[in-house]
Amino acid sequence: MSRAYLAVIASCLLAPLPAFAVWGTKARACPSWEARLAALEASGEDPASSRLRRLRNKIDGRCVALNEVQALGSHNSFHIQARPALFSLLQAFDAALAASLEYTHIPLGQQFTQYGVRQIELDVFADPDGGLYNLRRGLLLIGQPADSGIPALEEPGFKVLHVQDVDFETTCVTFVECLRVVKAWSDANRGHLPIAILVELKEDAIPDPVHLGFTVPLPVLGPDMDELDAEIRSVFPKHQVLTPDDVRRERPTLEDAILTLGWPRLDAVRGKVLFLMDNGGAKRDIYVTGHPSLEGRMIFTNSTPGDPDAAFVKLNDPFDPAIPATVAAGYIVRTRADADTVEARTGDTAPREAALASGAQFVSTDYYRPNPDFGTGYFVEIPDGMPGRCNPVSAPAGCRVEGLERRRIP
């Protein structure tokens, strides 16, 4: 960890608190409520009593902020393993590559309901004219037609898949379709903890060893970023999305807002979604051009503390010593409990335990349920909490898991 990074984190921890009430900030009575809760619990009050339940719910809603919770995420949440004949061909071509692709996710709504997933990841490819990803040319190698026969792939708009032509099976084929699935579930489960949607912008070409004419993705440029925001707005009304402007709340920069005002409290953001950008570097630079603190943008960028747009930081290595300090400073962090099916095959739980202990708000996995074919029983869940728990690094003393989510099913 560089000295400059440490200096930024230290300054964040010492940042002054605001002296005035602003949307989403915690209630001023939180200290007295927390003291009352501690006294009642110490007195032996029945944990199931209505008095304790009401107090827990009040504290969790008005004294616990979004970044003070830890929740489970899924990696490449749309992904379905390639059909058997194509997967066997991939194994023969590159066994290690095929092994990293040997996982299948259930539909998004089932992930939310059955396993408490509250962060998903969608890989998106620009397709402004439509039809770019309709042909899956890898299928020609196993004697199947390349034409998908899926009308939505002929339409303009971002497409969701992992790797063109060879690893393209997905539970929802367009960005808008995936978002509609999320919205339908959110509408039917009001009061859920916010769902974070991590978006990875893809544009890499892949080798074409037998010259089938594999699709060459288009670069994701400024107009495409605008279209990405437009597609989000086409699905979610303003009140259902937590945007950078909502969090900035007239502060000079987004980073200044999270370091002084903090992230909004839970009762201001339950039932909402927020968007996070997986990419850093050049893609982040394009997205912030003309929007240095993400003014008018829909997605929180993957940035570095000290930058005006810094609010979300992707630190995928769960052993990264920077994670706890970054969380304590007020940033939201995503890390991974496993990668490329390695931990699920070996049963290695050290990365999982490190990820959970790090305080990263979103701990991503391919295995919210075990893969029986691997025989290790490996899976990831949030300890003592579904769908989330009080963050082990940043949660206030009065946080209790029972009141974090207030899901209401109409």
| Residue range 323-351, pLDDT digits in tens | 999 999 999 999 999 999 999 999 999 99
CB distance 198 to 73 below 8 Å: yes
pLDDT score for 385: 72
Those residues whose C-beta lies under 8 Å from the C-beta of residue 214, and which sit 6 or more positions away, are: 137, 138, 164, 165, 205, 206, 207, 208
Instruction: Assess whether pLDDT exceeds 60 at residue 316.
Output: yes
3-state secondary structure of 207: coil
The residue among 65, 70, 84 whose CA lies nearest residue 27 is 65
Comparing 2-16, 48-62, 308-322, the range with the smallest average pLDDT is 2-16
pLDDT score for 384: 83
| Element of type H or E holding 27 | none
Helices (runs of H) and strands (runs of E) counted in the chain: 15, 10
pLDDT band for position 142 (50/70/90)? very high
Q: For residue 363, count other CB atoms closer than 10 A to its CB.
A: 26
pLDDT score for 4: 52
The residue among 378, 402, 381, 379 whose CA lies nearest residue 390 is 402
pLDDT score for 349: 98
Query: Which whole number is the average pLDDT over 143-148?
Result: 98
Instruction: Assess whether pLDDT exceeds 70 at residue 410.
Output: no
Q: What is the mean pLDDT of the chain?
A: 94
Instruction: Assess whether pLDDT exceeds 80 at residue 5.
Output: no
Instruction: Assess whether pLDDT exceeds 90 at residue 166.
Output: yes
Instruction: Assess whether pLDDT exceeds 70 at residue 8.
Output: no
| pTM of the complete model | 0.94
What's the pLDDT tens digit per position in 248-301? 998 999 999 999 999 999 999 999 999 999 999 999 999 999 999 999 999 999
Q: Tell me the percentage of the chain whose pLDDT exceeds 70.
A: 94
Instruction: Assess whether pLDDT exceeds 70 at residue 227.
Output: yes
pLDDT score for 304: 97
Q: For residue 94, count other CB atoms closer than 10 A to its CB.
A: 12
pLDDT score for 17: 43
pLDDT band for position 20 (50/70/90)? very low
What's the pLDDT tens digit per position in 349-401? 999 999 999 999 999 999 999 999 999 999 999 998 779 999 999 999 999 99
